[in-house]
Amino acid sequence: MSREITLEPSVMIEELMYYIHQNEMGGDCIDPDNRFFPLYLELQKLLDHEQQKKYDLYVSVNADETK
């Protein structure tokens, strides 16, 4: 019996960021000297981009006046 789990990109990014924060950075604070810090920053930028796309789509559909 196999189950297929589909995650949205934003959820996957958040999970990876959480893993990095908890397991690689110690979970207390974000250390700029940590080797995973550049990756963490890039993931944050990607997450912001994904969330902005959702917002832009919502605004676009919400403002559609072709009704």
Amino acid at 22: Q
Each as own residue / partner, the long-range contacts of residues 11-20 (CB below 8 Å, 24 or more positions apart, any chain) are: 13/43, 13/46, 13/47, 13/50, 14/47, 16/43, 17/43, 17/44, 17/47
pLDDT tens string 22-41: 999 998 888 899 999 999 99
Residues near 44 by Cβ (< 8 Å), separated by ≥ 6?
17
pLDDT the model gives residue 7: 78
Q: Pick the more confident residue, 25 or 65.
A: 25
pTM over 0.75: no
